[in-house]
Structure 1
Amino acid sequence: MSLLILGDGRFPSGGHAHSGGAEAAVAAGRVRDAATLEDFCRGRLATTGLVAASLAAAAAAGHDPLVLDDAADARTPSPALRRAARRLGRQLTRAVRAVWPSPELEHLAAARPAGAHQPVVLGVAARTAGLTPRNAAQAAAYDSVSAPVTAAVRLLGLDPFQAAAVAARLAGDMEDVAAEAARHAARLPVDGVDALPAASAPLLDITAEQHAAWPVRLFAS
């Protein structure tokens, strides 16, 4: 049940204010309908989604969250995306403090007053809630898809049933990414943070910087 609570879109983690890059993609015409949304989500899941899932799995496995937070910074070239990840991490910390308080979370919050990267906080939350690294990776993979899918309903006026179908069709991909992320996390005791993937999505980085400069936008990222 803890995994369902953590992955619930109604969990007050602040994710509703972020589109996962979908707003910029819609404006550029790269996401126009359910089919192009699915392509966008699949690409995001295989790159930044895999990185986030691996960080979450590593944190859930008990690896030093401060080291993982530094690793997240190194794997996030865009300053705008780093700021967004930390804002989301700060908001998630507030929610988790109320639901699954822990000394480990308090230590992370004290060391990163501006907020730790969201996937790292997610992994610490999963560990505190008694979940496995694979569970944490599943939650992160789902988050990588659910943000743009939910945003597309507002941005495109997409039928919510079609949006839900996009997420459902990506369920297998999400499970594959979660399994791969858990394998990466399991290698950390031997290889250190170099075991974590550094898959990139340069277009997401570029458009995130452009999006951050828009004078008017619906989503924070």
Structure 2
Amino acid sequence: MKHLLLLLIFALSLPAARAQNTASQPTGSQNLESQFSNLKSKSNSYQEKGQTFKVVNQKMLDAFWDNVKKTMLVTEKQLADARKGTDKQLVEARQRIADQEKQLQDLKLENQQKQASIDESDKAIASISVFGMDMPKQLYVILTSVIILGLLIAMGVILSLYKSNKRIAVEKQRAFEEVDQELAEHKKLAREKELKLKRDLQTEMNKVSELNQQLTSRSK
């Protein structure tokens, strides 16, 4: 799980994570770096053969590592929550588009049926009968025009909503792809920083081990 440590940097750069934290709070990376610097500063130093060695307190080192593991768990949860929220919004947007596409098709079919009815009525110019009643042609034309106009307005509204939701879905998809790309880039940076931190910790542990061996040999 050590490679998850530097994912904290990416998690804290996500908008969802920034919305949950105030500007005055330090990032996890800064906090860990501060603790690591504090660990080094409170370690005893000595020089031998022109090299500087440090004696690290084992309890402080264990406490630092415990904090690293806790930070990784928090970061992993934040990443999962952010991704889950984005996926849910994308699914909802796609469902709305599908529903509106069906409504648009139904409206087009209805409009075609109305138009066919109008065409048939135009053929009977001399006598127009609606529901068994004779109706003046001018009044009939006005009524059918109002119906068509209403249908066109409704179609325009639905088409506008469809385009808007389709644009939102495309933007969500693009944002999702950008998040994935940023995640890949941050993973690469996180891996490099994690290797550096691992080397620093290993160096300090090697120094402690070497110092213990020297102390043991001297005590003999």
**Which of the five TM-score ranges fits, normalised by the shorter chain?**
under 0.3
Q: Normalization by structure 2: what TM-score?
A: 0.27
Answer with 1 or 2: which has the greater Rg. Answer: 2
Higher helix share: 2
Higher strand share: 2
Greater RCO, 1 or 2 (C-alpha within 8 Å, sep 6+): 1
